[in-house]
Amino acid sequence: MRKYTTEIIIGFIPVLIIFFIYIGQNVVPMLLMGMLGFAVVYAARGKGKLTALSSQKRRVEAKSAPLTFEQIGGQERAKQELVEALDFLVHQEQIAKLGIRPLKGILLSGPPGTGKTLLAKAAAQYTDSIYLAASGSEFVEMYVGVGAGRVRDLFKEARTKANKAKKSSAVIFIDEIEVIGGKRDGGQQREYDQTLNQLLTEMDGIYANESPRILLIAATNRKEMLDSALLRPGRFDRHIGVELPDKKGRLHILNIHANNKPIEEGVDLARIATESFGFSGAQLESVMNEAAIYAMREKSDKIAEAHLSSAIDKVMMGEKTDREASKEERERIALHELGHAIMAELVRPGSVSQVALSPRGQALGYVRHNPQQDQYLYTKQFLNGQIMIALGGAAAEELFYGERSTGSRGDFDQSMNIVRTLVESGLTELGIIDASMMTREAWAAVNRSILDELMLETKSMLESKREVFKMSLNTLLAEETLSGNEFRTLLSKHKAA
């Protein structure tokens, strides 16, 4: 009888409405009350938009192709740390003998595009676990209790799917964990706080003797925003930094993404890895993809080194634009970029990779620099050199036109950011100070002092290279591009003369 209760009620309601209409009763208030009650029950049972994932609409398990750690490049240290942590799930008998408590959570922190999601997928493959993925924004709603309910459902679903698939463990990956795991301010309770409290409770409920075991892997770009209760041992036991790859890592990533692409013989991917200093794994994948697109545009069967160089420019600054400058503007832009290039070669010989007059993105021209080696610590001399390279364009305009243009705005922003780094690192005459205590007037004074002095030095060094400007200008205007070797040849001719 219970099986048909719903059908009987649904069939009885129209009959009841017709009866009330027949006896002359106003049924409109009753209909409104009935609809309101239905909406409340519908939401409470988990069938509406106000609740978490319902039992009828389950989270789709990731069905992507299996991904192993060998297929992820540029993160050897991060992979090593992660594999060591995952072995606690794989070798359960061994860790039980040693009395080791299984890890409950692993936090992956680092810049965007460095492979945090890929590492989580590879972790599920390595441990032969069920893999469920979610984003922090999925748990955020304006309705109270919704986020907490979604957290409960996520962990419940992970256990259910693991039992159904007869797996001993499940991996839950939450991207953008800072959305729900941000620091609590201690004030009025917010929906975010309730969601975080539920997540903390669920993580406390992951015990060593549970089956299936659940490992929570979270990713964030802003670790400093996370609540201390979430970061403590016993919740996120391992904090693994997933940083930008070094030159060796970039080469590894390029080789991985070159496997399914026809690369022309003689292409030096090591040089491309050098030129792509500071690129993330996602950007390197985009470089290989854009290079293939350039090859297709030219109806070429193979990807040449020129395609890869153009792809680096596109990823850095954007696609070429159709903006056409007048002859006078083109000459000014060319002299501006030559000023950057000459200063770069004077300060750090061999660092110029390309001088281009073609507009890309917001830039009317650009100089691509080629760092000789990855560098993570900077001296005052090095940073002063970077400022002089940035000021080289404006200094060249002053030498030849007697005034500057608005094209130097970005260069000045870059220079002032480097000055800020000098001040905060205690590398100026101010000594070791708290930069946050400095007034606007103090910042203006230190910027003016450092930049004016370096601008005079830059103009003095460029003044001695006037002939190089004249020799390079016509070539750059005609060809629109000078490679680093071609530019250094012109410099060597000037030295010989």
Instruction: Check residues 416 and 131 and name the one with the higher pLDDT.
Output: 416
**Residue written as token pair 């907490």:** 148
State pLDDT tens for residues 13-47.
Answer: 777 777 777 777 777 777 777 777 766 665 554 44
pLDDT at 479 over 70: yes
Instruction: Check residues 333 and 205 and name the one with the higher pLDDT.
Output: 333
Please give the single-letter amino acid code of residue 279. Answer: F
Instruction: State residue 383's pLDDT score.
Output: 94
Instruction: Check residues 140 and 144 and name the one with the higher pLDDT.
Output: 140
Topology of domain 327-496 in CATH is Methane Monooxygenase Hydroxylase; Chain G, domain 1 (1.20.58)
- Quickly state the pLDDT bin for 343 (edges 50, 70, 90): very high
User: What does CATH list as the number for 69-241?
Assistant: 3.40.50.300
Instruction: State residue 48's pLDDT score.
Output: 39
What is the model's pTM? 0.72
Instruction: State residue 201's pLDDT score.
Output: 83
Instruction: State residue 189's pLDDT score.
Output: 53
Instruction: State residue 53's pLDDT score.
Output: 43
State pLDDT tens for residues 95-110.
Answer: 778 787 777 889 999 8
Contact indicator for 223, 108 with CB cutoff of 8 Å: no
Nearest 5°: phi and psi at 64?
-70, 165
1.10.1740.10, 1.10.3720.10, 1.10.8.60, 1.10.760.10: which CATH number matches 252-317? 1.10.8.60
Q: Which of 176, 337, 397, 398 is catalytic?
A: 337
Q: Return mean pLDDT, the chain.
A: 82
Report the C-alpha gap between 309 and 287 in whole angstroms.
9
Q: Is 138 a catalytic residue?
A: no
Instruction: Check residues 181 and 463 and name the one with the higher pLDDT.
Output: 463
Instruction: State residue 443's pLDDT score.
Output: 92
pLDDT at 51 over 50: no
Q: Percent of the chain having pLDDT more than 70? A: 85
Contacts of 190 (CB under 8 A, 6+ apart): none
pLDDT at 208 over 50: no
Instruction: State residue 295's pLDDT score.
Output: 93
